[in-house]
Chains A and B, each alone.
Chain A
Amino acid sequence: MFAETPFVRDKRRSETTAKWVFFAMAGSMILPLLLIVVFLFVKAAPSLRVDFLLDIPRRGMTEGGIWPAFVGTIYLVFISLAVSAPIGILAAVYLNEYARDNWLNRLINLAVINLAGVPSIVHALFGLGAFVYAARFGYSILSASLTLAIMTLPVIIASTREALASVPMSFREACWNVGATRWQTIRSVVLPNSISGILTGVILQVSRAAGETAPIMFTGAVFFKAVQKGDLFAYNLNEQCMALSMHLYTISTQVPGVRESVPFATAVVLLGSVLLVNAAAIALRAHMRARKKW
């Protein structure tokens, strides 16, 4: 064998150093997450039981559970996605299946990118101006959900487009060649082959919509609302509601004398549901990739 020259040795050393430095950089961004999650769980432990989820806040929100906030978040998430998912999916179908490369579609792409970058508090201002005042929906679940819907729209468009673009062109061509129209091709070939990718994108937005606070703070979420313990049909569309994210903000900054474990438990429930939904989406995507035949 050749003896290692100093030049080669330096090269090898710099290689190893670089590898470990980059590993440390990646690790130092990921380790805090794990530590924080563990810390939150430990702090929340005294309050974490099923009854915490089902009970209503008691004694001026310093004790008790989080049911009204939890169920309010469910309302907001499902109504907002019921609005944004169809619009977003159809918009992605337009951009991927119908659009040609012209100025209008470049403008639409630019709009989607910028819609995704609008700060959440500006969405709140828009929701307040457009839905609460101009459309006269008032401070309500409807206004808050529509605001959330517009916020989640660009990401649904982007993820659906990606799913549609992964369907090979030859599938479409085969379908067109037997005389199918553009829409027939989309319905019978493109959508069935991309549905799990589309679903993954929509599910990921469930967790995003559940976690947002700023857009609902001024359009429909309230500090406190009395509902029955464990009541699933607690709210009407035109009422205000409590929301988990808003509740966490309120009890950790605005309410004095809250028992220490209560905000931690609220944070754990919010974080836990968001991470669970995300993990489900990721599992669905992995399952779909394993089954993909092309």
Chain B
Amino acid sequence: MSAGDTQPAAQFSFAVRHAKRPAWALIGERLLTALIYACGISAIFFVLSIFVFVFKEAAPVLFSDRFDLRQFLFSEQWYPTSEINKRYGVLAMTAGTFSVTALAMAIAVPFGLGAAIYVSEFCGPRLKETLKIIIELLAAIPSVVWGFIGLTVMSKLIVQFTGAPVGVNILNGGIILALMSVPIIVSIGEDALKAVPDSYREAGIALGATRWQLVWRVLLPAAKNGLLAAVLLGVGRAVGETMAVLMATGHAVKIPHSILDSVRTLTANIAAELGEAPADSDHYRVLFLIGVLLFTITFFVNLAADMAVRGIRKK
């Protein structure tokens, strides 16, 4: 025992010496923190400015006497360049978007969820890694390449097998969009299945369930919110896709009657006509109004997907 230990505790008080950082470092850190806050808020700023700028270009025609919102939404007559009888009705394009998206989802949802279940529950770890990488690469194929495939490969196959007069139609666009939205459905769906606690699986196996029974009776009900989110994000991608449908669905502005009819979607209509519409003309502004419509649709689809995901987190 040294003598120091017997001394009262008060003797130990020592002056806390703050290492002084130079003023520029302190100011620099303040500025950086401010910059980080600004960047954090920038996402809100960008979303708002997208809406404001697109809406601003569309507003003059929306509030003018020449324009009838009901006609815009519910008329199938689209004659933007007619001399005497201009009509701006997007019903035919809405039907086009709806039909192509519906077909794409009819293919992509079962296959995508099936693939997600296989990757998550049925395959070994090594095959799983390989499949996930392939799915990631599938997701990276640019939409214009998909469109090109639809235009050259798929259209010939469709003419050959169905005897349709033209190969660029709902079927073509639907298949292409399905292949494009499968990766997102698989990866989000697999995340949702992975989020189901392992104790659920163990309980099922302990009761003697096979893996199929486990998937059908336990995992699908438990992960249904996440799977719904996966489907909704796939829908969002399909509705917003432009280049692939521009090249693969043909250019007929009419309500489709069969799966082999050509259609034009809302997105393809903007892409096809924006270059030809003179700036500040009614036609140009109506195209921006279609943009507002698309923005609104995808906003609500994404909001719904987000709420579905939030649903699983709360559990």
Contact = CB atoms under 8 A, between A and B. Distances in A.
Please determine whether chains A and B interact with each other in the same assembly. yes
Given A11-B213, A30-B134, A218 B140 contact: no
A288 interface: no
Interface in B284-309: 287-288, 291, 294-295, 298-299, 301-303, 305-306
Contacts of B295: 118-119, 122
Nearest to A32: B179
A93 interface: yes
Contacts of B223: none
- The DSSP consensus for interface residues of chain B is helix
A278 B136 contact: yes
How many of chain B's residues touch chain A, expressed as a range?
35 or more
Contacts of B115: 22, 25-26, 29-30
Interface stretch (B44-52, B86-94, B98-106, B254-262): B44-52
Given A122-B50, A126-B53, A33 B137 contact: yes
Given A114-B302, A118-B298, A119-B298, A217 B43 contact: no
B224 interface: no
B147 to A, nearest CB: 7
A211 B142 contact: yes
B39 to A, nearest CB: 4
Interface in A22-39: 22-23, 25-26, 28-30, 32-33, 36, 39
A248 B40 contact: no
A32 B54 CA distance: 38
A183 interface: yes
A83 to B, nearest CB: 11
Nearest to A186: B36
**Interface residues of chain A: helix, strand, loop or mixed (majority):** helix
A115 B247 contact: no
Interface residues of A, number: 89
A11 B211 CA distance: 10
Contacts of B41: 104, 108
Contacts of A133: 279
B271 A125 contact: no
Interface stretch (A57-65, A94-102, A163-171, A234-242): A94-102
B37 interface: yes
A113 B306 contact: yes
B44 to A, nearest CB: 4
A91 B37 CA distance: 7
Interface string A258-287: 000001100100110011001100100000
Given A114-B299, A252-B152, A252-B247, 5 more contacts: A11-B213, A120-B242, A153-B42, A249-B147, A253-B247
